[in-house]
A and B are shown apart, each in its own frame.
Chain A
Amino acid sequence: MSFKITEEFRAKADKLRARYPRPDAALIPLLHELQREAGYVPEEGMDELARLLGLPYSRVKAVVTFYTMFDREPVGKYHLQLCRNISCHMAGAPDLLAHLKRALGIDEGETTKDGLFTLSTVECLGACGSAPVMQVNDGYFEKLDTAKLDALLDDLRHGRVVPGGR
Chain B
Amino acid sequence: MPKITIDGKTAEVAKGTTVLEAAQQLGVYVPRYCYHPKLPISGNCRMCLVEVEKSPKLLTACSTEAADGMVVRTDTDKVKTARRDVLEYLLINHPLDCPICDQAGECGLQDYYMEYSRAKSRFPNEDKVRRQKRRALGPHLVLDNERCILCTRCVRFCSEVTKTSELEVMGRGDRSYIDLKEGKALDNGYTLNLADICPVGAWTSRDFRFKQRVWFLKKTPTVCLGCATGCLVEAHHNKNTIYRLSPRPNAETNTWLCDRGRMTYKSVSAGDRLVKGIVKNGLIELEPALREAAARLDEARDAAAVLGSPWLSVEDNSALALLARALKTENYSFDFSAEQGIKDGILINKDPAPNTAGARQVKAAAGGLSFSDFAKRAASGRIKLIVAEARAAAALKDELKAGGAALVVFAVNRGEVPEGAQTTLPYASYFETQGTFVNYQGFSRRTRPSVEPPEGVRPLWAMLTSLASYSGLSLGLNSGDDAIRGIKK
User: Which residues of A are interface residues toward B (Cβ below 8 A)?
Assistant: 43, 56-59, 61-62, 65-66
Of residues A59, A61, A62, which shows the largest number of chain B Cβ atoms within 10 Å of its Cβ? A62
Asked if B165 and A65 make an inter-chain contact with CB atoms under 8 angstroms apart, the answer reads no
| Chain A residues closer than 8 Å to B180, beta-carbon distance | 58
CA distance A65 to B159 in the complex (A): 19
Asked if A66 and B165 make an inter-chain contact with CB atoms under 8 angstroms apart, the answer reads no
Closest to B164 in A: A56
A-B CB contact pairs (8 Å), 25 listed: A43-B182, A56-B165, A56-B166, A56-B168, A57-B181, A58-B165, A58-B167, A58-B168, A58-B179, A58-B180, A58-B181, A59-B168, A61-B168, A61-B170, A61-B179, A61-B181, A62-B168, A62-B169, A62-B170, A65-B170, A65-B171, A65-B172, A66-B170, A66-B171, A66-B172
The prevalent SS among residues of B at the interface is loop
| Chain B residues closer than 8 Å to A56, beta-carbon distance | 159, 165-166, 168
| Chain B residues closer than 8 Å to A58, beta-carbon distance | 165-168, 179-181
Closest to B177 in A: A65
Of residues B166, B168, B169, which shows the largest number of chain A Cβ atoms within 10 Å of its Cβ? B168
Asked if B165 and A59 make an inter-chain contact with CB atoms under 8 angstroms apart, the answer reads yes
CA distance A13 to B181 in the complex (A): 23
CA distance A57 to B165 in the complex (A): 8
Question: Which residues of chain B in 138-183 are interfacial with respect to chain A, using CB atoms and an 8 Å cutoff?
Answer: 159, 165-172, 179-182
What 1/0 flags go to B403-431 for Cβ under 8 Å of A? 00000000000000000000000000000
| Chain A residues closer than 8 Å to B181, beta-carbon distance | 57-58, 61
CA distance A58 to B181 in the complex (A): 7
Could you tell me the distance in whole angstroms from the C-beta of B164 to the nearest C-beta in chain A?
8
Closest to B167 in A: A58
CA distance A56 to B181 in the complex (A): 10
Q: A57-B181, A61-B170 are in contact. List 9 more A-B contacts (CB 8 A).
A: A56-B165, A56-B166, A58-B165, A58-B168, A61-B168, A62-B168, A65-B170, A65-B171, A66-B171
Number of interface residues of B (CB under 8 A): 13
Of residues A43, A59, A66, which shows the largest number of chain B Cβ atoms within 10 Å of its Cβ? A66
| Chain A residues closer than 8 Å to B182, beta-carbon distance | 43
Could you tell me the distance in whole angstroms from the C-beta of A134 to the nearest C-beta in chain B?
23
Closest to A57 in B: B181
| Chain A residues closer than 8 Å to B167, beta-carbon distance | 58
CA distance A58 to B172 in the complex (A): 15
CA distance A61 to B179 in the complex (A): 10
CA distance A66 to B173 in the complex (A): 9
| Chain B residues closer than 8 Å to A62, beta-carbon distance | 168-170
| Chain B residues closer than 8 Å to A61, beta-carbon distance | 168, 170, 179, 181
| Chain B residues closer than 8 Å to A65, beta-carbon distance | 170-172
| Chain A residues closer than 8 Å to B168, beta-carbon distance | 56, 58-59, 61-62
| Chain A residues closer than 8 Å to B171, beta-carbon distance | 65-66
Closest to B172 in A: A66
| Chain A residues closer than 8 Å to B172, beta-carbon distance | 65-66
Could you tell me the distance in whole angstroms from the C-beta of A10 to the nearest C-beta in chain B?
23
CA distance A57 to B167 in the complex (A): 9
Closest to A65 in B: B170
Could you tell me the distance in whole angstroms from the C-beta of B115 to the nearest C-beta in chain A?
33
Question: Which residues of chain B in 16-41 are interfacial with respect to chain A, using CB atoms and an 8 Å cutoff?
Answer: none
Could you tell me the distance in whole angstroms from the C-beta of B158 to the nearest C-beta in chain A?
8
| Chain A residues closer than 8 Å to B169, beta-carbon distance | 62
Closest to B166 in A: A58
Closest to B173 in A: A66
Could you tell me the distance in whole angstroms from the C-beta of B166 to the nearest C-beta in chain A?
6
CA distance A56 to B166 in the complex (A): 7
CA distance A65 to B177 in the complex (A): 10
CA distance A1 to B181 in the complex (A): 17
Closest to B184 in A: A57
What 1/0 flags go to B263-299 for Cβ under 8 Å of A? 0000000000000000000000000000000000000
Could you tell me the distance in whole angstroms from the C-beta of B165 to the nearest C-beta in chain A?
3
CA distance A43 to B170 in the complex (A): 15
CA distance A56 to B169 in the complex (A): 13
| Chain A residues closer than 8 Å to B179, beta-carbon distance | 58, 61
Of residues A58, A59, A62, which shows the largest number of chain B Cβ atoms within 10 Å of its Cβ? A58
CA distance A132 to B182 in the complex (A): 38
Could you tell me the distance in whole angstroms from the C-beta of A109 to the nearest C-beta in chain B?
14
CA distance A65 to B180 in the complex (A): 12
Of residues A43, A56, A59, A61, which shows the largest number of chain B Cβ atoms within 10 Å of its Cβ? A56
Could you tell me the distance in whole angstroms from the C-beta of A26 to the nearest C-beta in chain B?
18
Could you tell me the distance in whole angstroms from the C-beta of B150 to the nearest C-beta in chain A?
12
CA distance A62 to B170 in the complex (A): 5
Could you tell me the distance in whole angstroms from the C-beta of B258 to the nearest C-beta in chain A?
21
Could you tell me the distance in whole angstroms from the C-beta of A67 to the nearest C-beta in chain B?
8
Could you tell me the distance in whole angstroms from the C-beta of A93 to the nearest C-beta in chain B?
21
What 1/0 flags go to B81-115 for Cβ under 8 Å of A? 00000000000000000000000000000000000
A-B pairs with the 6 shortest C-beta distances? A56-B165, A58-B168, A62-B168, A65-B170, A66-B172, A65-B171
CA distance A57 to B158 in the complex (A): 13
| Chain A residues closer than 8 Å to B166, beta-carbon distance | 56, 58
CA distance A118 to B105 in the complex (A): 49
Could you tell me the distance in whole angstroms from the C-beta of A70 to the nearest C-beta in chain B?
12
| Chain B residues closer than 8 Å to A57, beta-carbon distance | 181
CA distance A7 to B377 in the complex (A): 67
Closest to A60 in B: B168
Closest to B170 in A: A65
Closest to B182 in A: A43
Could you tell me the distance in whole angstroms from the C-beta of B174 to the nearest C-beta in chain A?
13
Closest to B180 in A: A58
Could you tell me the distance in whole angstroms from the C-beta of A53 to the nearest C-beta in chain B?
13
CA distance A62 to B155 in the complex (A): 12
Could you tell me the distance in whole angstroms from the C-beta of B323 to the nearest C-beta in chain A?
55
CA distance A65 to B182 in the complex (A): 13
CA distance A106 to B181 in the complex (A): 31
CA distance A145 to B10 in the complex (A): 68
